[in-house]
Amino acid sequence: MAAAFQDGILTEASNGGTLNVTAYNSNQQLNNNSNSLLSTLSQLDGIKVHILDTPTFQHTAHLKLTANCAINALATLQNCRNGELIHFNELVHSIVDECCTVLDLDHHSTHLYTKNIINTTALNYNSTHTDIHQRRKPATHTEVEFLNGYIINQARIKGISTPNNQRLYDEFMHKFK
């Protein structure tokens, strides 16, 4: 789910979505305030609320991380909508492969997930694109530092090579200083 905060108003910006929630660890239960908030959110049009166990939440977060690594920096560098990434399919594929290796994700299902995100958001400019091209944020104040940067750091720790993520990250950081 995406949201934007503008003029003091928080607006859901993805035309509906899913809010995935987990307890801090598997031994904890959500408290009454949390349950009340989730109940209220689930009554809003277009928002589905799922309470997930921690491993499922982590897997879902890793899928989203991978899709964002493949989409955000590349579409921003190319100054294009997400759907135009079909012209960069080989690079998208290699970035997803590297993320899958680092995060121990199934390659096939993660490629399908990423392709689905690209297709369902084909007409959108992603949040990083908005940060760079509309808000004029420097590269170090965007998600790319936390997305591709995280993959690169985890790969380094695990002794895994991620040349495509590294090249994309370096080009992004250099271009949008």
Half-sphere exposure of residue 162, counting CA atoms within 13 Å on the CB side? 31
Distance CA 115, CA 112 (A): 5
Helix or strand run (H / E) with residue 47: strand 47-51
Number of helices and strands (H, E) in the chain?
A: 7, 4
Catalytic residues: 64
Pick the CATH number of 56-175 from 2.170.120.12, 1.10.1040.10, 3.40.50.2300, 2.30.110.10: 1.10.1040.10
Tens digits of residue pLDDT in 5-35 = 445 444 444 444 555 555 545 556 666 766 6
Closest CA to 165 of 94, 101, 106, 61: 94
Q: Where in the chain is the domain with CATH 1.10.1040.10?
A: 56-175
Element containing residue 50 per DSSP (H, E) = strand 47-51
Over the stretch 61-93, which tens digit does the pLDDT of each residue have? 899 999 999 999 999 999 999 999 999 999 999
Average pLDDT of 92-113?
97
Strand bridging mode 17-21 / 3-6:
unpaired
Whole-structure pTM value: 0.75
Return the percentage of the chain with pLDDT > 90, whole number. Answer: 59
